[in-house]
Structure 1
Amino acid sequence: MHDDDGLAGAFPYERLRRYPDVEAPNLQAWDATDLLIADRGVADAEERGLTGREIAVIGDNYGAIALRLAAAGFVGVRVHQDLATGREAFRRNAEELGLPDLQMPCELESGLLEGARLVLMQLPRGLAELEEGADAVARWAAPDVVLLAGGRVKHMTLAMNDVLGASFEVVNAELAVRKSRLLVASVPKAVPERPRFPVCATYDDAGLTVCAHGGVFAGKRLDVGTRFLLGFLGRMPSGEALDLGCGTGALAAAYSLAHPDAVVVATDRSAAAVRSARATIAANGLEGRVVVEHDDAAASRPDASADVVLLNPPFHLGASVHAGAALRLIDAAARLLRPGGELWTVYNSHLDYRRRLRTAVGRTSVEGQSGRFTVTRSVRRP
C-alpha cells in the first residue's frame, strides 16, 4: 500500500510551475487530463502491485503525472519530456516538493520503456507523434503492458483509436471525466524490424533532404515559411551561424550547403526536433559541419558568439496561441549576435514582430514579403 509520503492530503498541483517556460495567466502547469491520468495511474499501479521502476510516463509536461506517482510512493518512475524547458521545470518542481526519486529525462528509446508494464501518456495533438509513441511502447515495453493515454475531449479524434489500434490488439475509449478521456491500449502487436521514424523527403528544387520524427513541426514537409527564407541564403553573410529553434534542421542544413566554410550550430528546445535535425544533417552529408544541441533558446551558448542567426519562430505554446516563445527567441538572438551580426527572421506577416526586432536587436529592414510571410534582416547594434 502506498501513501502520499509526506505530502498531506490531496496532491498540491497548485504548487507546480512552468518556469523557465513561459508563464502567463492563461497558462498553467497542469490540466484536468493530467489529474485523470495520474489518479488512474496510481490506482492501476496499486491494483497490479507495480513498483515505480515498472512505470513509464510520456509527455508529462511539467511533472503533474510523475510527481503524483512519486508522492504516492512509487520510486524510479521513468519519464520522457520533450521540451528542455519542461525538463528544467520538472526538475525544479520535484525539488520544491521533495520528490527527486525519478528517472528523468529519458529519451523516447528502449531505455525509457524496457520492462514497463504501465505507460501513462498525454495524448499528443499530432497523429505522427502518437504513432511513434505507440510503436515505441509496443516495441520495447513488457508483453503485458497497459497504455493509458489521455487527452482533452475537444482535441481527440477517432483517428487516434485507429493509430493505437495499429500497435495494439485491444483499444478501449472510456467515458469522459471533466472533459477529458482515457484511451486504454493493451496486447502489443508484432512490430516491424525497424521503426518507421524518422521519415525523410528530398526536395530537388531546394537541393535538400528533410527528415522528421513524429513530434516535430511540419514533419518532413518543407514548410512555407522556411522555403521562403531559403530564397535569401545567398544574401546572408558567411560565418559562425546559429539556427535558433531549428525544428527539422532544414535551415541549418541549407545554410551550411550554401556556405561550405561556415561553422553552424542548430538548437531547439524539443528533443523530437533535435533528433530530427540530426537525421537531416546526416541525410545531407553534413556531419562535422553542423552541430545540433538540445537547449532552451541556446541558453548554453556564449554571448556575442554568432555572426548570423536564422529564425522561423513559433506562434503557439502547445494548444494556446501565444507570442511568448517567439519573443524569447528574438531576445536570445540579440544576446547571441556579435555587434554588426545579422538576424534573418521569417514570420507570418500579420504578427509583425518588427518593433520587437528593432528594440531587441537593432536596425531592421523588410527584405521580402509573400502573401503570408515576411522576411526581415536585423543588424545587431554595437
Structure 2
Amino acid sequence: MPEFPYSRLSRWPDVEAENLQAWDATDELLVDRALALAAERGIGGAEIAVIGDGYGAITLALTDAGYRGIRVHQDLATGRRALERNADEAGLGGFDEHELDGDLLSGARLVLLQLPKALAELEEIADAVARWAAPDVVLVAGGRVKHMTLAQNEVLGRSFAQVQAERAERKSRLIVASEPREVPVEPPFPVRAEHDGLVLVAHGGAFAGPRLDIGTRVLIEQLPALARSQLRTNEPNRSQIAPKTNESVDFSGVVNVQRDAPTIIDLGCGTGALAVAYALAHPDARIIATDRSAAAVASARATIAANGVADRVTVSHDDAGSELPDASADVVLLNPPFHLGASVHTGAATRLFEASARLLRPGGQLWTVYNSSLGYRGEMVRLIGPTEQVHRTAKFTVTRSIRR
C-alpha cells in the first residue's frame, strides 16, 4: 500500500506559516496503530471514531486505506473546513462528521484521539468514550512528548481499567486505554460557577472552564466606559471614555446613550461571559456571540440560557465571524488568543483583528483586551483605525479602536 501523502495537506482556512504544518508524527503513529488494530481485530470503518483530528490527516489516511464510514469529531470550525477541503483535493470521502455525543461513539470499537491540551477536555472525552462506545472499545490517544504529562494517564484511568503508555517514537507517544469503567449517571460536564451574578457554564474544551479569566474580567469592568462612549460618532469624546480605575461593574445600571439598539459581536466568545455581561447591562441590544470551538459554542449557549438572555443573544460556530455580513456591527468585543494549539503564535489575533475590520461599520468600535507585552496597538491602528488605551492593569491593556 503506498504511503499516504501527508505533505499535501493544508491548514487552510487556519493560519499557515513555515513553522506550522497540517500533520505531525503523532498523526502518523495513530494511523499506523489503527491499521494494525483494525486488521487484527476485524474492525470496520463504521466502528472507528476519530477525535481531535486537526486538519484531517488521520481520517483521510484511513479513508485512503479503504476504511469507509469513519466518524470524526473536530472541535474547531477551521479544522472541519480544512478536512472538507483536503478531502476534496484528495478526492476522498466516506466519513461522517459529528459532535462529541452518542452518535459519534455508539458501537465504536476503536477510538483515535489527538490528546487535547486541557485535562478537563480529556476527562469529558474519556467519559464520552466509556459512556457510549462498545464494551470492547480500545482508545488510542497520542501526543507530542513535550506536551504530555502523567496527569493525562490518571484522567484516562478514571474511565478505563487498563491504561498503558508506550515508548516514544519520533518525539511522540501513544497511550492505549481499554476496559471502560462504569460511568456515573450524569456526565461530568458541563460544569457551572457564579461570579457576582454572572453564571458561567463550561464544557471541558472551553478556555478557562467556568472561571472568569483575568483578561475577560478586565474588559467586563470597562463596559460602563463603553456605554458612555459615543457609538454613533467617528471621533471619540475622551472625557466620556476615561473610566475611574476603581469603578465597579454593575450589570444592571448601565444606560446606553444611543437611541437605536446597537449590534454587538462577541468575537471568540469562549463561554459567553462578555456577551452575557453586555446583555445584562443592555436589555435592548442585539448581541451575536461566535467562536470557532464547538466546546465554546456549547458552553456559551448554556451560559446564555443560565442567565436568562437567550432571547437577546445568538451563538454561532464559525471561523472569525466569516458567516456574518460586512459592516454589520456597531461594537466588537474581543479577548484574542495568543496561541494556535500548542504553538505561541500571534496569527490568531491578527485574523480576528482583520475580521473586526470587516465586521465593523465605519465609526464602529473594537474594544480589545490583551496582554500588554504583546503590543497589538500598532496592528490595530493599521487594520482598523485610530486606537487609544482605555485602561491598563499590571498585566493587561484595554484599547478602543474606531473603524475608519
Give TM-score, length-normalised by structure 1: 0.96
Aligned AA (1:345): T
In structure 2, distance between residues paired with 1:45 and 1:317: 32
> Residue 330 of structure 1 corresponds to which residue in structure 2?
353
Which of 385, 392, 398 aligns to 1:362? It is: 385
Please give the residue correspondences for 1:57-72 in structure 2 after superposition, counting only pairs within 5 Å. Answer: 57-72=50-65
Distance 1:355 1:155 in 2: 33
Equivalent of residue 53 in structure 1, options 38, 46, 63: 46
Deviations 1:186-224 (A, max 9, x none): 1111111111111111012xx211111111111111000
1:294 to 317, 338, 345: 317
Q: Pairwise mapping of residues 4-15 of structure 1 onto structure 2 (< 5 A)?
A: 9-15=2-8
Q: Which residue of 1 aligns with 2:79?
A: 86
* Cα distance, 1:43 vs structure 2: 1.1
Please state how far the C-alpha of 1:47 moved relative to its aligned partner.
Answer: 1.2
- The answer as to 2:308 corresponding to 1:315 is no
Number of aligned pairs?
371
Output the amino acid matched with 1:311.
Answer: L
Is 1:174 equivalent to 2:166 in the alignment? Answer: yes
Task: Letter of the 2:271 partner, please give it.
Answer: T
Q: How far apart, CA to CA, are the structure 2 residues paired with 1:29 and 1:235?
A: 42
Residues 1:234 and 2:224 aligned together: yes
2:253 matched to which residue of 1? none
Partner Cα distance (2:13, 2:140) in 1: 28
2:209 to 219, 222, 235: 219
Q: Secondary structure at the match of 1:343?
A: strand
1:376 aligns with 2:368: no
How far the C-alpha of 1:279 sits from its partner, in A, is 1.1
- Aligned equivalent of 1:119: 111
1:261 matched to 2:253? The reply is: no
What are the superposed Cα offsets for residues 133-184 of structure 1, whole Å, 9 maximum, x if unpaired? 0000000001110000011111111111110110011111111111211111
SS at match of 2:364: strand
Which letter maps to 2:81?
A: E
Q: How far apart, in 1, do the equivalents of 2:22 and 2:132 lie?
A: 29
The one-letter code sitting in structure 2 at the alignment partner of 1:266 is A
Map of 1:161 onto structure 2: 153
Q: Any idea what SS the aligned residue of 1:166 has?
A: helix
Q: Give the SS at the match of 1:350.
A: helix
Q: Secondary structure at the match of 1:195?
A: coil
SS in 1 for 2:373: coil
Shift, 1:236, TM fit:
1.8
SS in 2 for 1:196: coil
Pairing of 1:191-210 with structure 2 (within 5 A): 191-204=183-196, 207-210=197-200
Post-superposition Cα deviations, 1:105-138, rounded to whole Å, max 9, x if no partner, equal: x100111000100000001111101000000000
User: Quick one: which of 305, 308, 319 aligns to 1:282?
Assistant: 305
Shift of residue 16, structure 1, vs aligned partner? 0.5
List structure 1 runs of 4+ shifted beyond 6 angstroms: none
Q: C-alpha distance in 1, partners of 2:90/2:40? A: 25
Letter in 1 for 2:217: R
Query: Residues 334-370 of structure 1, C-alpha deviation per residue, up to 9 Å, x if partnerless?
Result: 1101111111000000111111111111111100000
Q: Give the superposed CA RMSD.
A: 0.9
Q: State the AA in 2 paired with 1:137.
A: V
**Hey, what does 1:101 align to over in structure 2?**
94
Q: Could you tell me how far 1:235 is from its partner in structure 2?
A: 2.0
Aligned equivalent of 2:251: none
Q: SS of 2:352's equivalent? A: helix
Partner Cα distance (2:283, 2:71) in 1: 41
Match of 1:304 in 2: 327
Give the SS at the match of 2:179.
strand
Structure 2 counterpart of 1:317, which letter? L
Q: For residue 284 of structure 1, what is the amino acid of its counterpart?
A: N
Are 1:129 and 2:121 counterparts? yes
Letter in 2 for 1:121: L
Aligned counterparts of 2:79 and 2:288: Cα–Cα separation in 1: 22
Aligned to 1:244: 267
Q: Give a deviation string over 1:227-277, Cα, whole Å, max 9, x none.
A: 000111112245110000001110000011111110000000011110111
Q: Secondary structure at the match of 1:300?
A: coil
Q: For 2:80 and 2:311, how far apart are their aligned partners in 1? A: 28
Return 5+ residue gaps in structure 1 as ranges.
none
Amino acid at match of 1:223: D
Deviations 1:13-68, CA, capped at 9 Å, x for gaps: 01001011000000000001111011101111111111110000000001111111
Q: Distance in 2 between matches of 1:66 and 1:332?
A: 30
